[in-house]
Structure 1
Amino acid sequence: MAVGEIFLGAFLQLLLDRLAPREILNFGLVKGVDKKLKKWSDNLSAIVAVLNDAEDKQLTGHGVELKLWLGDLRDLAYDVEDVLDKFATKRLKRQIEGRDQASTSKKVRSSFSKLKLNFDMNSEIKKITERLQEISERKDKFGLKDTGASSQAWSRPPTSGVLGGLTVVGRDGDKAKILDMLSRDNVNFHVVAIVGMAGLGKTTLAQFAFNNNSDVMKEFEPRVWVSVSDDFDVVRLTKAILESVTSKRVEVEEFSKMQHDLNEQLRGKKFLIVLDDIWNKGDRDLDDLWTRLQSPFSVGAQGSKIIVTTRDQNVAEIMRATEIHNLEPMSDDNCLEIFEQHAFVNNDRPPNFELLQKKIAEKCRGLPLAARTLGGLLRLKEINEWEGILNDKLWNLSGESDNILRVLKLSYHHLPSNLKRCFAYCSIFPNDYEFGEKQLILLWMAEGLIQQPPEANRQMEDLGHDYFQELLCRSLFQKASENNSRYVMHDLVTDLAQWAAGNTCFRLEDKKKGCFYPSG
């Protein structure tokens, strides 16, 4: 379900902040504009009050007309933002010109400029006022209610800091099995595949083996981690492996030269390479690509290993895995332990937690990603809100067969307004793209997504840090596998961001064709 208007409430709240009385006074460029903008604010406030109900009805599949209304409201909101931006620009221009108004000719030009601005802006304001009135009247036909949960400006709770010192829960049998598979020295190299559905913890299990310091694992040198996802690009993967092995940037462009250099680097060494999250877009294509990629691996020392994580059993077979470990859902007890790590501050459990345990376990369905996300959501809610969230009608979304998608959408739905827009903006990142905190904060700032509360007097970078840490706390971001200063989103979370953004964000997917992201 593509719902581009899902973060509309967050956007409207930002517009209302700009239409607050203290801001309207700054727009006194056009005669009578304060009264007109006050009317905009009143109408938008009435719409925002029922918007949560509208979004709930749209999420649960009610009404084509409602979807059209939300689309028209979104378009109008962008036009309102454009007008307010024009006001801000003109105000700044007048301030600059006001410093240099010595000559009569300059004063005359300024007067004509102001007259033209009055005419143009009055025309735009009139059109938007009429459209806003029409949209406001249309909302009454849908029987929308004020749920009391309209989007509010975000204020960071005092207990919402990043969780630290978390341990990997459960999977003792799986860990032992993977280490046993990696200890067998029967051929030059062979493939060990970890197979399981999304959100089961395949990457976490591979990370455990990759970072393990047992005697068995100490024999592997070098160790390389590469995220594959839906882009099994042999040139990109070969380059990434070579750069990791040499700790140097690869300057050569010829694929044959890269493979030759990698062959020389791996010769005689007992290496471990993790190819994380491989998708299957076609058996024949993957077979050919894998044959090309693995060409330099045959020169490694006996016992070298390739760990592959995938949702698709066919991938393991195509890559001729000699060891396949099928990952099963976690026990309810393990899921609850993960949930508790993320839901409770200082292990401070609510008094009626035992009554909710069964329901929480049912919602997680053995998926650690669901347990982390649900824990991060409820951690910032009062205990009297927990049962309402666990009984939320969004759990019954039609067409959602996978419970992890319900958990993720519910987590997004309960984000504060500013964080909704910041998270949805992350839809521009490809799957498994690693980003820095500072990098993302600067992007948010450039888009005007970080809002200074009226009573606050803080740097935008500091507010952005709070936003970032909040999303990290909710498990919507997670640390990268190899670099703790970089972050990634699980591919299901990336899907969530794209779902939330709909057609309001343009995604830069093709990194090979000149697209790039600022480094941070």
Structure 2
Amino acid sequence: MDLQNQADGVLIVLDDVDTIDQLDAILGTRDLLFQGSKIIITTRHEPLLRAYEVCHIHKVGNLDYNESLELFSWHAFGQNRPIDGFIEVSEWVIQYCGGLPLAIKFFGSSLLGKSLNVWKIQLEKLKAIPDYQVIEKLKISNDSLQDDHDKNLFLYVTCFFVGTDEDWVVTILDGCDFYTMIGIQNLIDRCLLMIDKHKNLVMHQFVQEMGKEIVHQELPKELGEHSRL
């Protein structure tokens, strides 16, 4: 019996792929899959996909306002919109999360079933002290950078250069013995950095807070000794 003609195609999902070896393990044998099979790959490292002939690359952006509010509401209220009395505070959370699904789901779940007063107190705390449970999860992206050069470049950009012109940043950091253009591209490939239409460096609020926390943890009780003072 010819199984290739008798069986339906299969759907394979590879989540959070980070190395070429992980892709080789399955894509190297894709000719053995049934006709019509589909492979979906999620990764923070877009260049990995360029090693193979893929049909379509889809960049997942941040959620817009309506998507964010719906996702938050399902986790905070068990329905697709905020309950009466919680609309204003829900909108503040949505603005604070900046369309990042990880943060939206986390805050929605953490506030589920709590009173409005507790919500307001929690949000006041967030204004002063970022929630480091979210930031800790985001450190996975920083840890995945391939070498200390890119990790150090990320910290310098985080602390000094967010919102500044790319060419100016390259000029400054090249003078400090960085391979800046390559490093910036590596940060973009890891979804840690973006370049806007004005050629300014742009970083999500939580990613920037994550970088600053890495610096803070070097010497948490001796602020004057921080490496990026």
TM bucket (normalised to shorter chain) is: 0.3 to 0.5
- The structure that has the greater radius of gyration is 1
Structure with the greater relative contact order (CA < 8 A, sep ≥ 6): 1 or 2?
1
